């Protein structure tokens, strides 16, 4: 059966290859630490003997965050020709609070409380990252606010990001909401139309004859190149952007859905037909489920290009959204706000991709050796 | 000890008395078939006549690639024959039908469905799954896999997967079971075990069986009649009737192979 299982799932390794190129893994230092730490952390909850490694890393994390707090609070900011950077004290206090929390967690490794033990297990996994992120923040703070090696206003210290979020959260939230709305509208249209087109050209020779050449000819054109024309043709810049985002998403979804349908093992159709399956059954119960792994690769690629089109469209013509916020912040030379918006964007886009992968893992539980995001 | 007699017209099968109402008579008359290859027409079947009595177990034996599997596809209704007629109980076969189920060399289970959902495929395709759910459990029981209903195909061994494929066929209550080298890819021990299981499933369910194999021993162990094909284009060379009682034993003092040909 093993050979036939491989044949049956032939498109999968291909998909795995495509996705793994984009696979983001924590650096090996992190995973190596997990391997070493986890057994001891589990041993700590099982046996009275306290574990040693979590202690060490926990105190290292506490020390790193303590260092960040100390240098933020005690090292005066370099005067930058305007009012002092806001929220320096608050940033330092927050870092100090985090340092105390880590210290307490590290002290409690031998605790019997299950909640603490669980917090510790999570902490052990991410401990190296927690140490390093404190050090990165400290370096960033030194290079900007403390020494001015990276000059204002183009560079801003991490503490000033709090300023941007605290004072401009309304505009940022509004921009985020508008971006998400526009993106989802375009992506849903693109995915739906791309999927339908992919299934149709995979199934029907006649449709394939007419649509496939168009897809081959027009598909590779970057949708951003159509921006000026689209803004002219469509009644609103919103409609134009939805169209272009849908185009960006739809092309890869259509191509990969088609290749998924074309790659379905023909024997599956024979099996279903001998059991009395109708054409409808062959499409919806055989072709589509068999093509789904490929469809998800298409969606992943489509998401990526939809983000590009979204930001460019908002920078060029749409009067709201995160892309618009970037150009707006640039106009006021308010680079702190720009960094703040970039961080929001990163969080949203990576969450959307994570969500897509979570859905895929759910839908494709039957796959062996699924690629982790 | 072995009586083998093949005449035309062939006599009704003698034992076991499986000629039940749930079995089909298949008549293949003057069937020829071929494919259009880049190098010209490729003839694979030449004027084949074959008759399967209700409840009979017939094995088609011949060199690989001779066109036996093509004959099965024609009988299943997956392709129309280029010439000649094939009938099931007197009605011409024009398209696939759940009363004639094929089990292929590969289990071809749908990897996205659990074992239970794979077995339920036929009932679902016919739109009667909701009323007939118990048939799925019964079919899984018949092949001894009731404990694996929730597993996915990639979690099964080769023999188990082929058992699921058998259950997926049996759930349709076929009147003719078409087996296309169903045990060809299994390891030898599993193959022997599955051969005995095939015999007992056939005896219990009473359908007709058309088995393609290139394993002589398998044909002699399983079938009441063995039809031997020539290399491509396939013609029937001869037939051997094997009138030995079931269950058969491999170490019988005189093996069925010493039967006479006609």
Q: How confident is the model at residue A153 (pLDDT cuts 50, 70, 90)?
A: confident
H/E stretch holding B38 reads: none
Lowest mean pLDDT among A38-47, B159-168, B217-226: A38-47
Q: What is the pLDDT of residue B193?
A: 84
Which top CATH class is A163-363? mainly alpha
Phi first, then psi, for residue A310 (nearest 5°) are: -55, -50
B103 touches chain A (CB under 8 A): no
Task: Check whether A227 has a pLDDT greater than 80.
Answer: yes
Between these two residues, A118 and A333, which has the higher pLDDT value? A333
Lowest mean pLDDT among A23-32, A339-348, B5-14, B199-208: A23-32
Asked whether A311 and A371 are in contact (CB, 8 A), the reply is: no
Cβ neighbours of residue A101 under 8 Å, at least 6 residues apart? none
Q: How confident is the model at residue A332 (pLDDT cuts 50, 70, 90)?
A: confident
Q: What is the torsion angle, in degrees rounded to the nearest 10, for the CA atoms of residue B240, residue B246, residue B249 and residue B253?
A: -60
Across all residues in chain A, what is the average pLDDT?
81
pLDDT digits (tens, 9 = 90+) for A154-185: 888 888 888 888 888 899 999 999 999 999 99
Q: B250 by DSSP, 3-state: which?
A: coil
Q: What is the pLDDT of residue B253?
A: 59
Chain B nearest CA to A274, separation (Å): 5
Q: What is the pLDDT of residue A27?
A: 40
Between these two residues, A180 and A81, which has the higher pLDDT value? A180
Task: Check whether B188 has a pLDDT greater than 50.
Answer: yes
Asked whether B213 and B135 are in contact (CB, 8 A), the reply is: no
pLDDT digits (tens, 9 = 90+) for A26-37: 444 434 333 333
Task: Check whether B12 has a pLDDT greater than 60.
Answer: no
Tell which phi-psi region holds residue A113, choosing left (phi > 0), alpha (psi between -120 and 50) or beta. beta
Lowest mean pLDDT among A87-101, A323-337, B55-69: B55-69
Chain A nearest CA to B223, separation (Å): 23
H/E stretch holding B117 reads: helix B115-119
Beta bridge pairs of residue B234 = B45
Beta bridge pairs of residue B22 = none
B124 touches chain A (CB under 8 A): yes
Lowest mean pLDDT among A75-79, A99-103, B171-175: A75-79
Between these two residues, A106 and B157, which has the higher pLDDT value? B157
pLDDT mean over B119-146: 89
| Cα–Cα distance, A181 to A318 (Å, whole number) | 13
Q: How confident is the model at residue A118 (pLDDT cuts 50, 70, 90)?
A: low
Token pair in block for residue B57: 């177990």
Q: What is the pLDDT of residue A368?
A: 65
Tell me which DSSP letter residue B255 carries: -
B139 touches chain A (CB under 8 A): no
The percentage of residues in chain A with a pLDDT greater than 90, rounded to a whole number, is: 45
| Cα–Cα distance, A101 to A264 (Å, whole number) | 54
Between these two residues, A118 and A86, which has the higher pLDDT value? A86
Q: What is the pLDDT of residue B64?
A: 76
Between these two residues, B162 and A151, which has the higher pLDDT value? B162
Token pair in block for residue A55: 């202690």
Q: Which of A224, A219, A196 is nearest to A307 (CA)?
A: A224
Q: How confident is the model at residue A305 (pLDDT cuts 50, 70, 90)?
A: very high
Residue A236: exposed, middle, or buried by beta-carbon count in 10 A (0-12, 13-18, 19+)? exposed
CB < 8 Å to A2, chain B? 158
Task: Check whether A288 has a pLDDT greater than 80.
Answer: yes
Between these two residues, B80 and B233, which has the higher pLDDT value? B80
Between these two residues, A312 and B236, which has the higher pLDDT value? A312
First to last CA, chain A: 29
Domain ranges within chain A, ordered by starting residue: 20-154, 163-363
Query: Which ipTM was obtained for this model?
Result: 0.82
Task: Check whether B158 has a pLDDT greater than 60.
Answer: yes
Q: Is the peptide bond before B233 cis (omega within 30 degrees of 0)?
A: yes
Token pair in block for residue A64: 């790193």
Q: How confident is the model at residue A281 (pLDDT cuts 50, 70, 90)?
A: very high
pLDDT digits (tens, 9 = 90+) for B57-70: 999 988 877 788 88
H/E stretch holding B103 reads: strand B100-103
Q: How confident is the model at residue A361 (pLDDT cuts 50, 70, 90)?
A: confident
Q: How confident is the model at residue A264 (pLDDT cuts 50, 70, 90)?
A: very high
B128 touches chain A (CB under 8 A): no
Q: Which of B145, B185, B192 is nearest to B166 (CA)?
A: B145
CB < 8 Å to A276, chain B? 96-98, 122, 125-126
The percentage of residues in chain B with a pLDDT greater than 90, rounded to a whole number, is: 16
Q: Which of A309, A298, A303, A301 is nearest to A226 (CA)?
A: A309
Asked whether A164 and A175 are in contact (CB, 8 A), the reply is: no
| A9-13, B146-150, B245-249, range with greatest mean pLDDT | B146-150
User: Helix A158-203 crosses helix A205-218 at what angle (to 10 degrees)?
Assistant: 140
| Cα–Cα distance, B171 to B152 (Å, whole number) | 19
| Cα–Cα distance, A274 to B103 (Å, whole number) | 10
Task: Check whether A246 has a pLDDT greater than 90.
Answer: yes
Domain ranges within chain B, ordered by starting residue: 1-99+174-262, 110-173
pLDDT digits (tens, 9 = 90+) for B85-106: 888 888 888 888 888 999 988 8
3-state secondary structure chain A: CHHHHHHHCCHHHHHHHHHHCCCCCCCHHHHHHHHHHHHHHHHHHHCCCCCCHHHHHHHHHHHHHHHHHHHHHHCCCCCCCCCCCCCHHHHHHHHHHHHHHHHHHHHHHHCCCHHHHHHHHHHHHHHHHHHHHHHHHHHHHHHHHHCCCCCCCCCCCHHHHHHHHHHHHHHHHHHHHHHHHHHHHHHHHHHHHHHHHHHHHHHCHHHHHHHHHHHHHHCCCCHHHHHHHHHHHCCCHHHHHHHHHHHHHHHHHHHHHHHHHHCCCHHHHHHHHHCCCCHHHHHHHHHHHHHHHHHHHHHHHHHHHHHHHHHHHHHHCCCCCHHHHHHHHHHCCCHHHHHHHHHHHHHHHHHHHHHHHHHHHHHCCCCCCCCCC
In this structure, the number of other CB atoms found within 10 A of the CB of residue B39 comes to 6
Task: Check whether B157 has a pLDDT greater than 70.
Answer: yes
Inspect the interface and report whether the beta carbons of A278 and B97 lie closer than 8 Å.
no
Identify from B111, B113, B181 which residue to disrupt to test chain A contact, counting A C-beta atoms within 10 A and taking the largest count: B111
| Cα–Cα distance, B133 to B149 (Å, whole number) | 13
B112 touches chain A (CB under 8 A): yes
B249 touches chain A (CB under 8 A): no
Nearest-5° Cα angle at A177, A171 to A180: 140
Q: How confident is the model at residue A373 (pLDDT cuts 50, 70, 90)?
A: low
Beta strands B40-52 and B26-37 are: antiparallel
pLDDT digits (tens, 9 = 90+) for B241-259: 887 777 777 766 555 555 5
Inspect the interface and report whether the beta carbons of A286 and B153 lie closer than 8 Å.
no
H/E stretch holding B84 reads: strand B83-88
Count of positions (residues) in chain A: 373
Identify from A274, A277, A292, A362 which residue to disrupt to test chain B contact, counting B C-beta atoms within 10 A and taking the largest count: A274
CATH number of B1-99+174-262: 3.40.50.300
Asked whether A141 and A67 are in contact (CB, 8 A), the reply is: no
Beta bridge pairs of residue B41 = B36
Chain A nearest CA to B103, separation (Å): 8
Chain B nearest CA to A337, separation (Å): 47
The percentage of residues in chain A with a pLDDT greater than 70, rounded to a whole number, is: 79
């Amino acid at each position: 059966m093993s050979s036939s299982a491989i044949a049956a799932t032939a498109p999968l390794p291909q998909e795995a290859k495509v996705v793994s190129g984009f696979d983001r893994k924590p650096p090996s230092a992190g995973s190596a630490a997990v391997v070493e730490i986890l057994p001891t952390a589990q041993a700590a909850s099982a046996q009275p003997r306290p574990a040693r490694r979590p202690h060490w890393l926990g105190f290292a994390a506490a020390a790193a965050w303590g260092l960040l707090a100390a240098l933020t609070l005690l090292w005066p900011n370099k005067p930058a020709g305007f009012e002092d950077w806001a929220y320096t004290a608050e940033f330092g206090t927050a870092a100090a609070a985090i340092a105390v929390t880590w210290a307490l967690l590290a002290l409690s490794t031998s605790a019997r409380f299950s909640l603490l033990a669980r917090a510790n297990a999570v902490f052990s996994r991410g401990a190296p990252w927690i140490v390093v992120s404190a050090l990165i923040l400290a370096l960033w703070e030194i290079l900007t606010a403390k020494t001015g090696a990276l000059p204002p206003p183009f560079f801003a210290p991490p503490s000033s990001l709090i300023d941007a979020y605290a004072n401009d959260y309304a505009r940022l939230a509004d921009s985020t909401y508008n971006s998400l709305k526009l993106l989802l509208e375009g992506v849903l249209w693109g995915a739906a139309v791309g999927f339908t087109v992919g299934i149709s050209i995979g199934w029907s020779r006649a449709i394939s004859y007419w649509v496939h050449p168009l897809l081959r000819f027009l598909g590779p054109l970057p949708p951003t190149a159509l921006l000026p024309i689209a803004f002219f043709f469509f009644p609103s810049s919103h409609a134009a952007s939805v169209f272009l985002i849908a185009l960006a998403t739809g092309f890869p979804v259509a191509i990969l859905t088609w290749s998924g349908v074309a790659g379905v093992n023909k024997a599956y159709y024979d099996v279903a037909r001998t059991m009395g399956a109708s054409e409808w059954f062959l499409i919806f119960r055989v072709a589509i489920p068999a093509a789904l792994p490929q469809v998800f690769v298409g969606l992943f690629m489509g998401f990526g290009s939809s983000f590009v089109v979204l930001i460019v469209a908002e920078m060029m013509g749409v009067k709201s959204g995160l892309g618009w916020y970037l150009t707006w912040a640039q106009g006021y030379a308010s680079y702190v706000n720009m960094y703040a918006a970039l961080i929001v964007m990163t969080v949203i886009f990576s969450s959307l991709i994570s969500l897509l992968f979570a859905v895929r893992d759910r839908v494709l539980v039957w796959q062996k050796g699924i690629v982790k995001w | 000890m072995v009586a083998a007699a093949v005449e035309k017209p062939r006599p009704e099968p003698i034992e076991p008395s499986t000629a039940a109402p749930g079995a089909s008579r298949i008549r293949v008359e003057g069937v020829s078939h071929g494919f259009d290859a880049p190098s010209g027409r490729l003839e694979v079947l030449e004027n084949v006549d074959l008759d399967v009595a209700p409840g009979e177990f017939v094995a088609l034996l011949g060199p690989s690639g001779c066109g036996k599997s093509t004959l099965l596809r024609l009988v299943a209704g997956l392709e129309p024959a280029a010439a000649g007629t094939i009938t099931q109980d007197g009605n011409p076969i024009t398209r696939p039908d759940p009363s004639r189920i094929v089990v292929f060399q590969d289990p071809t289970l749908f990897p996205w469905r659990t074992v239970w959902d794979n077995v339920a495929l036929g009932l679902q395709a016919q739109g009667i799954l909701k009323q007939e759910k118990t048939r799925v459990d019964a079919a899984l029981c018949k092949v001894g896999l009731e404990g694996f209903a929730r597993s996915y195909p990639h979690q099964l061994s080769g023999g188990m997967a082929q058992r699921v494929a058998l259950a997926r066929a049996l759930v349709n209550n076929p009147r003719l079971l078409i087996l296309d080298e169903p045990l060809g890819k299994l390891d030898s021990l599993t193959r022997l075990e599955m051969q005995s299981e095939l015999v007992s499933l056939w005896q219990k369910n009473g359908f007709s069986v058309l088995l393609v194999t290139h394993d002589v021993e398998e044909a002699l162990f399983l079938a009441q009649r063995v039809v031997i094909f020539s290399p491509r284009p396939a013609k029937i060379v001869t037939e051997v009737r094997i009138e030995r009682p079931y269950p058969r034993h491999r170490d019988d003092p005189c093996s069925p192979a010493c039967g006479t040909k006609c």
